[in-house]
Structure 1
Amino acid sequence: MASRFHYKSMRSHKWVANASFKPVTLRFIPQGWRRLHSVQRLGRRSLRYLLPLLFLMSLLTVLLGNSFTPATAQLPRQEIRGVWMTNNDFNTLRDRAKVQNATNQLRQLNFNTIYPVVWNSGYVMYPSAVAKRTGIQPFVLRGSDGHDILADITAQAHRQGLLVIPWFEFGFMAPPMSELMLNHPDWFTQKRDGSQTSLSAAGEVAWLNPFHPEVQKFITDLVLEIVTQYDVDGIQFDDHMSLPHEFGYDKYTVALYTQETKNNPPANPQDPAWVRWRADKITAFMVQLNQAVKAKKPGAIFSVSPNYYDFAYKFHLQDWLNWLRLNIVDELIVQVYRPNLQNFIAKISRPEIQEAQQKIPTGIGIMAGLRNNPVPIQQIKSQVRATQKRGLGVAFFYYESLWNYAPEPVTERQSAFQALFPASALRARI
Structure 2
Amino acid sequence: MKNSFKIISILLIMVIFQSTIAFATPSLNTIEKKEMRGLWVSTVLNIDYPSKPTTDAEVLKKEAIKILDDVKDMGLNAVFLQVRPSGDALYPSKYFPWSKYLTGKQGVMPSDGFDPLKFWIDEAHKRGIQLHAWLNPYRITKKKYNEPEHDFASLDFFHPAIANPDWVVKHSDGNLYFNPGVPEVRELVMDGVIEIVENYDVDGIHFDDYFYPGKDFDDKDAFEKYGKGFENIHDWRRENVNILIGELSKRIKETSKDVSFGISPFGIWANKSTNPLGSNTKGMQSYYKQYADTRKWVKEEMIDYIVPQIYWHIGFSIADYSELLNWWVDTTKGTNVELYIGQAAYRAGNPDPNSPWHGFSEIERQLTLNSNFSQVKGSVFFTYNSFEGKPALSGLIKSIYQEKQYVMDMEKLKIVIKVIDKYIRQIV
TM-score (norm 2): 0.67
Q: Deviations over 1:314-360 (max 9, x none)?
A: 1111111111122221011001112455422222121x432315433
Residue 34 of structure 2 aligns with an amino acid whose one-letter code is Q
The residue number in structure 1 matching 2:293 is 319
Mark the runs of 5 or more structure 2 residues left unpaired by the alignment: 1-32, 53-58, 103-107, 142-149, 271-284, 352-356, 409-428
Match of 1:108 among 70, 73, 83: 73
The residue number in structure 2 matching 1:117 is 82
Q: Deviations over 1:287-331 (max 9, x none)?
A: 111111111112210011001211111111111111112222101
The alpha carbon displacement at 1:260 in A equals 2.7
The residue number in structure 2 matching 1:80 is 36
The residue number in structure 1 matching 2:366 is 383
Q: Deviations over 1:39-83 (max 9, x none)?
A: xxxxxxxxxxxxxxxxxxxxxxxxxxxxxxxxxxxxxx9321100
Cα RMSD of the aligned pairs, angstroms, is 3.0
Q: Which aligned pairs between 1:48-197 and structure 2 lie closer than 5 A?
A: 78-87=34-43, 88-91=47-50, 95-131=60-96, 136-139=97-100, 140=102, 147-168=114-135, 170-175=136-141, 176-177=150-151, 178-179=154-155, 180=159, 181-189=161-169, 196-197=170-171
Give secondary structure in 2 for the equivalent of 1:364. Answer: strand
The residue number in structure 1 matching 2:14 is none
Q: Deviations over 1:372-413 (max 9, x none)?
A: 978632232222222223342211111121233x4xxx2x23
The residue number in structure 2 matching 1:301 is 260
The residue number in structure 1 matching 2:326 is 349
Percent of residue pairs bearing the same amino acid type = 22
The residue number in structure 1 matching 2:310 is 336
The residue number in structure 1 matching 2:183 is 213
1:236 and 2:216 aligned: no
Between 230-239 and 417-426, report the one with greater CA deviation: 417-426
Distance 1:371 1:207, change over 3 A: farther
Residue 186 of structure 1 aligns with an amino acid whose one-letter code is D
Match of 2:394 among 394, 408, 414: 414
> Contact 1:303 / 1:332 at 8 angstroms: preserved in 2?
yes
> Contact 1:336 / 1:344 at 8 angstroms: preserved in 2?
yes
The residue number in structure 1 matching 2:243 is 284
> Contact 1:198 / 1:206 at 8 angstroms: preserved in 2?
no
Residue 321 of structure 2 aligns with an amino acid whose one-letter code is F
> Contact 1:403 / 1:413 at 8 angstroms: preserved in 2?
no
Distance 1:90 1:108, change over 3 A: closer
Give secondary structure in 2 for the equivalent of 1:83. Answer: strand
Using CA pairs under 8 Å that are at least 6 residues apart, name the structure with larger relative contact order, 1 or 2: 1
For residues 145 and 101 of structure 1, what CA distance do their matches in structure 2 show?
21
> Contact 1:80 / 1:361 at 8 angstroms: preserved in 2?
no
For residues 64 and 95 of structure 2, what CA distance do their matches in structure 1 show?
26
Between 136-145 and 171-180, report the one with greater CA deviation: 136-145
Give secondary structure in 1 for the equivalent of 2:245. Answer: helix
The alpha carbon displacement at 1:229 in A equals 1.0
Give secondary structure in 2 for the equivalent of 1:165. Answer: strand
Q: Which aligned pairs between 1:361-400 and structure 2 lie closer than 5 A?
A: 361-369=338-346, 376-391=359-374, 392=376, 393-400=378-385
> Contact 1:341 / 1:383 at 8 angstroms: preserved in 2?
no
The residue number in structure 1 matching 2:425 is none
> Contact 2:179 / 2:219 at 8 angstroms: preserved in 1?
no
The alpha carbon displacement at 1:173 in A equals 2.0
For residues 364 and 348 of structure 2, what CA distance do their matches in structure 1 show?
19
> Contact 2:180 / 2:237 at 8 angstroms: preserved in 1?
no
The residue number in structure 2 matching 1:43 is none
Match of 2:219 among 226, 229, 249: 249
For residues 242 and 304 of structure 1, what CA distance do their matches in structure 2 show?
15
The alpha carbon displacement at 1:107 in A equals 2.3
For the pair shown, the structure with the greater C-alpha radius of gyration is 1
For residues 333 and 229 of structure 1, what CA distance do their matches in structure 2 show?
25
The alpha carbon displacement at 1:184 in A equals 2.8
> Contact 1:121 / 1:174 at 8 angstroms: preserved in 2?
yes
